[in-house]
Chains A and B, each alone.
Chain A
Amino acid sequence: MRNTACLLSLLLCAVLLGTSLAAHADSYEAALPPELSSAKRLCDYAPCTEVLPGATRFSERMGAPPYVEGYRGDGASARLVGYVMLSTDITDTPAYSGKPVVTLIGMDTAGRFTGVRILKHSEPILLLGIPESALIDFNRQYIGKFVGDNIEIGTSRPDEGVIGLDAITGATVTVVAQNQVMMTSGTAVAQQVGILEATPRPQARFADPAGTPDWDGLVADGAVQRLLVRRRAVGLEDDGEPFIELWFGALDHPRIGRAILGEHGYRSLHRQLGETDHAIFVIRSGGAESFKGSGFVRGGIFDRVQVRQGRDTFTFRDLDYQNLYDLKAAGAPAYRESAIFIIRGKGIFSNAYPWRLVFLGNRVDRATGERTFANFDREYWLPEAYLEGGRPVVERPDPTWLKIWKERAPAILGFVALLLATAAVYASRDRLVRRSTHKNKWPVNGFKYAIWVLSIGFVGFGLLAQPSITQVLTWFHSLLFQWQWELFLSDPFIFLFWVFIIVTVFVWGRGLFCGWLCPFGSLSELLFKLGRALGLKHLQRTPPKALHDRLKWLKYWIFFGLLAVSMIDMGLAEKLAEVEPFKTTFLIGLFERSWPYALFAASLLGLSIFVERPFCKYLCPLGAALAMPTTFRWFGLRRKQECDSCKACAKGCGSLAIDRDGRIDPRECLLCMDCMVLYYDDHGCPPLAQERRRRTRDGCDLTPIGADGYYIPIRPVPADGSRR
């Protein structure tokens, strides 16, 4: 029969796959021409006219980072109408899938966005859950907005100068990443073409502590920094050598300049620097890759290194380059390539503030061979002692995930309170079940029903925080391939829920989550209870135990199947994970979703009125994944010896988790507490009721019931009063 379960799961997967593939998706993992990221004529390979309406002719890629100019008309009458940029030329910000959303962006000469077009994305949620049109609608919000505005996801805050954009419900991470891509790309181009004026920064006043440090001293001070890129970071096989190892530092600071160039060299450099110029040195001590680039041409731009400070980017042309022949600092590493770059700061760059040296490279996808733009950077900030008055106070913007946590603080507090309250209620189960009887379970159920209602309304529909098997698969992958805390932290509710789930599964088993807090599970059982309350009891059925014992394996097969598929193709696994009706129920809504999914979810919910939690019992891969570690939960439920022959609890167990020997299968038990109520109920538990009757008949006291589920024995006190 396990084979039947296996077959059924395969069938289910096939049906789901069929419907999934039928789902329409334009740019999901679209194959893009390789020239798109490398050809000079970008617009020969990208629909530039769509994002810059009115332009009839486009230039070649220009600038660093690159963009193209769009003109209307030809020859002398040609008029510049705006700029087009490819997001992956400028930033490699990953979205939820860990891969960037390749976006073509148009901007007019006044710095207003004129069009946005997604060329390729790998976001599973947009493939299956949320229609791609949602992202198109989201992007439409940028049109007409000025690149220099403070645009954020969320509500507008005019007093703080923040323009808010409506997020896509259920795809927060994707849109937060997309906003970052839009703003970074737009700003990078707007600054190059002079639309955005950079704000000047107060210039550094150098302190010059006595003595000339050697190389190790400079490194220890933080006056020289290392930027290391490993081969695997760019998709190459590791061979022990780094892809590139660079050391760099500010050279216009006298202490560093003298240590690196010697007194004479420093003076000569200093003489050449203009008033607003700054110099840095870079050496390559490891790796075969050149940081100057092999394709460097006279008059051109060094396209592999740049300096960024805040939103400002500083690139280097041939005139900004000088040879660095010799490093005077004792103990400096051997190097294969060296350079002095002059930053034409124009008062915008300042050594008093942190800046980053950026190495621009390509990452090769090992599976597809596709190259994508990737940059690697390292922060540099002159040490406190090197600046007169020390480092100025710098307000760094919060990372995106922190912004989300701050914005949603009240809801997060409410959610945490719910989790803690549920754990507290369950931890007090002994007291609650003792107060209940098989006829009145309200002391337990009152709490449970309230938690169900909150989990459905607040957690499920409100916060969209329904945990899913896809998260387990994503973690599994991240653990093996690339762990990104950012990614997990960006959804605070799911993150906190998982912390709670992991802890409680090991302490009590999956039942606390599944039986009390899972939004879908709660909805499912609530429908069953409602059905009963509305007089449908005569239509409600419990599957025969023998059949249940065979069918329950189905969910494990589904889980294993998904895990195996995810190893080969994560995208496919995400599609197959549609076996969970969670997205349809909570994220998108039954009436918003295409009919095969809506029908599937509605059928399961409909069936739940007549059979208790059919999805949880037989199909839920998440339930299966959580059931497995439940084997090792620390604290199980109480039983007494007579449970082996008494069937009272087993009959009442809606999860069919009690076998004919009275043993509880912890993997199937949803901790409903019904059997625990009976355990202490001297009118409901047959052996206890028998003892009660015996004691009453014999005129003995009814002592309190102990933890073992029996009356505390009455021990006769010896006549002499001594204790035994």
Chain B
Amino acid sequence: MVDPRMPSDPVVPSYAEGGSLARRLAAELWDHLWPWSRDGFRRHKALQAAGMALGLAASTMWVIAALGHLAAGAVIGAWFGWSVFEVLVRLGAKPYVKEGPWWGRRYRRAGPMDMLCYVGFKNLLIGASLFLLLKAAGMVVV
């Protein structure tokens, strides 16, 4: 039976149940930063591996940017490319998003649009903060 009180079926990620607040926050932070899951790996090995490679590339890009060798366009382009890939990876590995208040514990299955909104918004925040940080430090040129 469908529960119409949620926009999609409820999902409970393992960390969402029980545990202290600090533990849950740490797990949630990890969840935002690490798109892969063991379960997802078992199911889509090739995709996950390619994703890992891309993740590494995106991280390296930020390091290179931090060393002052990248122009703004390249940083934005690479981050955008990675974000598209992250949507695909998460849809396979962690296909859920939070429902309701950010401090709550309700999660639901994510459709492609939900995931796009989640990754888009999250990466916009991460990207903008890192970008501004690098810009303030004079490491990236606009």
| Chain B residues with a Cβ closer than 8 Å to the other chain, count | 31
Q: Which of B113-134 contact A (CB under 8 A)?
A: 113-114, 116-118, 120-121, 128, 131-132
**Distance in Å from the Cβ of B65 to the closest Cβ of chain A?**
12
**Distance in Å from the Cβ of B118 to the closest Cβ of chain A?**
7
Q: Are A644 and B102 in contact (CB under 8 A)?
A: no
- Indicate which residue in A479, A629, A663 contacts B4 across the interface (CB closer than 8 Å): A663
Q: A238-B141, A480-B131 are in contact. Are A661 and B76 (CB under 8 A)?
A: no
Q: A479-B128, A634-B102, A664-B7 are in contact. Are A230 and B138 (CB under 8 A)?
A: yes
Q: Are B121 and A629 in contact (CB under 8 A)?
A: yes
Q: Are A628 and B1 in contact (CB under 8 A)?
A: no
Q: Are A639 and B4 in contact (CB under 8 A)?
A: yes
- Indicate which residue in B4, B8, B72, B142 contacts A643 across the interface (CB closer than 8 Å): B4
Q: Encode contact with A along B2-16: 1 for CB under 8 Å, 0 otherwise.
A: 111111100000000
Q: Are A631 and B114 in contact (CB under 8 A)?
A: yes
Q: Are B113 and A238 in contact (CB under 8 A)?
A: no
Chain A residues closer than 8 Å to B81, beta-carbon distance: none
Q: Does A567 contact B (CB under 8 A)?
A: yes
Q: Are A632 and B121 in contact (CB under 8 A)?
A: yes
**Distance in Å from the Cβ of B128 to the closest Cβ of chain A?**
6
**Residue from the set A238, A632, A636 with the largest chain B CB neighbour count within 10 Å:** A632
Q: Are A667 and B113 in contact (CB under 8 A)?
A: yes
Chain A residues closer than 8 Å to B142, beta-carbon distance: 232, 480-482
**Distance in Å from the Cβ of B132 to the closest Cβ of chain A?**
8
Q: Are A480 and B117 in contact (CB under 8 A)?
A: no
Q: Does B98 contact A (CB under 8 A)?
A: yes
Give CA–CA (A237, B76) in the complex, Å.
Answer: 17
- Indicate which residue in B113, B118, B138 contacts A240 across the interface (CB closer than 8 Å): B138
**Distance in Å from the Cβ of B102 to the closest Cβ of chain A?**
7
Q: Does B97 contact A (CB under 8 A)?
A: yes
Q: Does A100 contact B (CB under 8 A)?
A: no
- Indicate which residue in A567, A629, A632, A638 contacts B98 across the interface (CB closer than 8 Å): A632
- Indicate which residue in B2, B72, B101, B138 contacts A662 across the interface (CB closer than 8 Å): B2
Give CA–CA (A632, B117) in the complex, Å.
Answer: 9
Q: Encode contact with B along A476-519: 1 for CB under 8 Å, 0 otherwise.
A: 00011110000000000000000000000000000000000000
| Chain A residues with a Cβ closer than 8 Å to the other chain, count | 31
Give CA–CA (A237, B131) in the complex, Å.
Answer: 16
Q: Does A325 contact B (CB under 8 A)?
A: no
In the complex, what residue of chain A is closest to B139 when comparing beta carbons? Answer: A238
Give CA–CA (A479, B97) in the complex, Å.
Answer: 27
Give CA–CA (A481, B3) in the complex, Å.
Answer: 45
Chain A residues closer than 8 Å to B4, beta-carbon distance: 639-641, 643-644, 661-664
Chain A residues closer than 8 Å to B2, beta-carbon distance: 644, 661-663
In the complex, what residue of chain A is closest to B100 when comparing beta carbons? Answer: A634
Q: A567-B76, A639-B5, A661-B2 are in contact. Are A631 and B100 (CB under 8 A)?
A: no
Chain B residues closer than 8 Å to A665, beta-carbon distance: 7
**Distance in Å from the Cβ of B76 to the closest Cβ of chain A?**
7
- Indicate which residue in B76, B100, B121, B138 contacts A628 across the interface (CB closer than 8 Å): B121
- Indicate which residue in B7, B97, B114, B141 contacts A237 across the interface (CB closer than 8 Å): B141
Chain A residues closer than 8 Å to B72, beta-carbon distance: 480-481
Q: Does B55 contact A (CB under 8 A)?
A: no
Q: A567-B76, A632-B102 are in contact. Are A641 and B121 (CB under 8 A)?
A: no
Q: Encode contact with B along A16-40: 1 for CB under 8 Å, 0 otherwise.
A: 0000000000000000000000000
Chain B residues closer than 8 Å to A639, beta-carbon distance: 4-5
Give CA–CA (A422, B142) in the complex, Å.
Answer: 41
Give CA–CA (A569, B116) in the complex, Å.
Answer: 24
Chain B residues closer than 8 Å to A230, beta-carbon distance: 138
Q: Does B68 contact A (CB under 8 A)?
A: yes
Chain B residues closer than 8 Å to A632, beta-carbon distance: 97-98, 102, 117-118, 121
**Residue from the set A567, A631, A664 with the largest chain B CB neighbour count within 10 Å:** A631
Q: Does A666 contact B (CB under 8 A)?
A: yes
- Complex A-B: 14 CB contacts under 8 Å: A230-B138, A232-B142, A238-B68, A481-B142, A628-B121, A631-B118, A634-B102, A635-B100, A638-B5, A661-B4, A662-B2, A663-B4, A663-B6, A664-B4
3 closest cross-chain pairs (CB), A and B:
A662-B4, A643-B4, A631-B117
